[in-house]
Structures are given as C-alpha cells and as structure tokens.
Structure 1
Amino acid sequence: MVENNLRFRDDAAHDEPAVTLDSFLGQSNATAVRIEAGEDARALLPHIERLALVEVSFPTFRDGRGYSAASVLREAGYTGELRAHGDVLIDQIPLMRRCGFDSFAPNAPVDEVALERALARYDHVYQAKADGRTPVWRLRHG
C-alpha cells in the first residue's frame, strides 16, 4: 500500500497548513490555501506568485468542480503544488494530473499496483492540458 499522500513533484513537501480561502484573502503571510467545493479559484489569481500550495477539496468523487479550479490556476500560470484532497479515487488521478494536480491526499489508502495501472492506461491524449502531454493529432499532423 502507498501512504495517503501521493506526490508527483521533485521539490520538498510544503509543511505549512492550508488556510481557508476567506482567511487567506484576509492576511498577507499565508502561502497555503484550501479551496472548498463551490469556491471560485479565480479569487487566488492576484496572489498566485506567493502561493506554494493550493489544496482543492473533493467532498465526494462525483463533484467535479475541483477539476475546473485546477485548470483555472494552471492556465493562469500557477506553478506551485496543487493537491487534490478528499474523496479521490484511483481512476480519477490520471485525469486530475491532466488538469494540473501533482499531489493527492485521498481519504482512503491507495493500492500501488492499481495506481500504476491507472496512470499507464492511456497512451494518447486528445487535448492539450496542464500535464504537457502532446495531443495525438499534433503527433500525426505536426
């Protein structure tokens, strides 16, 4: 079994606890923030230079709003750690990585073999996203 915190980054893990979005916006020294489902990630855009960690809550695996939050932040140039936290299932991790998540804190333990299988499942992608993979159409047509 893999421990509950999965990281796909080379830098050191960020140890500062994440504060709520309201708390973050009300202070100037926090470098880690937690976005709950339904909160607008665009509120962080003026502050992305000082952020080291954005933790996005997934209260249930059926709630896809966190994918949009990740895409908004990565498309705006956020390069810090982006962690999916909560009800994260193994088969969602490859799609979350495509949106820009590079760290995961699932509620349940993750089986290492199943995770490796999920990450290797698709050889090709169709859209350009935050993970930098080249879409199959570009491979074929330059």
Structure 2
Amino acid sequence: MAELRYRDDAAHDEPAVTLDAFLGQSNATAVRLESSDDARALLPHLDRLSLVEVSFPKFRDGRGYSAGRILREAGYTGELRAQGDVLVDQIPLMRRCGFDSFAPEAPVDEAVLAASLARYDHVYQGAADAAEPVWKKRHGQRG
C-alpha cells in the first residue's frame, strides 16, 4: 500500500468534482463521493481516475469504508482520500480498506497516529490490503 499522505502533501491537486458532474463529463480525473453515493458507478471509469475523495461527514458513518474497499478490490490504483470527520484511531482501519491519503478536519497528532498504526501485529479478517488474517496463519492456510 502507498505511503500515508495528508492533504497538504497529497499527490493530486485537481479539485474533485461530484459524482453526478463526473458522470456527465469526459475530462475530469478526480471525483468526490458523498456518503450516499454508490462507488460502483465509478467502476467503468477507474482507468481514467487519479483521485477518488470519499467524504466521511461523521466519524460514525461507515459507508466510506465500503466505498474504499469496493474501489480497491475492483482494481483502482490511484489516490484514495478519506476526507472529513476522520479520527486518528480510524486511520489504520481506513488503510485496510485501501485509503492512502487523508484530509481530516481536525489535526492529527503524529505520535498518536504512529502508535495507532503499530498497535496490532495481526489482523483477523481479510480486507482490501494484502495482510493475511491470523486464522489462516494459525491453520496453515495460504491465499
């Protein structure tokens, strides 16, 4: 997975257009998904996108996690940015769903983030990342 980036050092500077605007034009390479948007609408266009910004309007709204995973599992390789009410303890989970860029509304303490990212050595379920679930390791299953 790509290195962790924040908005101020993100790779893509083109403003993201709404999903409706993106689907209605042919030249945009950056799109913003609101929590009510269906990420599957982007699947036919993944090859021309360099940024998908997913809105997290409230920390308890988990629909953006699904959008990230849908896009990564469909083969999207561009920047996937979580924007909005992104809390430091959510970033490791967002990374597992494929997010590699973050634009939180509130500042993130780098030491707290580092501790959060290093907290667990193993994962318990498959996700959009390459981490192997611990149950597969325990039972000698691969793949």
TM-score normalised by length of structure 2: 0.90
% same residue: 78
Question: Which residue number corresponds to residue 28 of structure 1?
Answer: 26
Counterpart of 1:16?
Answer: 14
- Paired residue for 2:36? 38
* Residue equivalent to 2:134: 136
The aligned counterpart of 2:116 is 118
Q: Partners in 2 of 1:68 and 1:129 — Cα distance?
A: 10
1:57 is matched with which residue? 55
Shift of 1:137: 2.0
Stretches of structure 1 that go unaligned for 5 or more consecutive residues are: 1-5
Alpha-carbon displacement from aligned partner over 1:64-109 (angstroms, at most 9, x marks no partner): 0000101111111111110000000000000000001010000001
**What is the CA–CA distance in structure 2 between the aligned matches of 1:14 and 1:139, rounded to whole Å?**
37
2:64 corresponds to which residue? 66
Residue matched to 1:97: 95
- Give the Cα–Cα distance (whole angstroms) in 1 for the partners of residues 126 and 23 of structure 2: 31
Secondary structure of the 1:57 match is: strand
- AA of the residue aligned to 1:34: R
* One-letter amino acid of the counterpart of residue 123, structure 1: D
Q: Distance in 2 between matches of 1:30 and 1:40?
A: 18
TM normalised by structure 1 equals 0.90
> Cα RMSD (Å) of the superposition?
1.3
Moved over 6 A (4+): none
Q: How many aligned positions are there?
A: 134
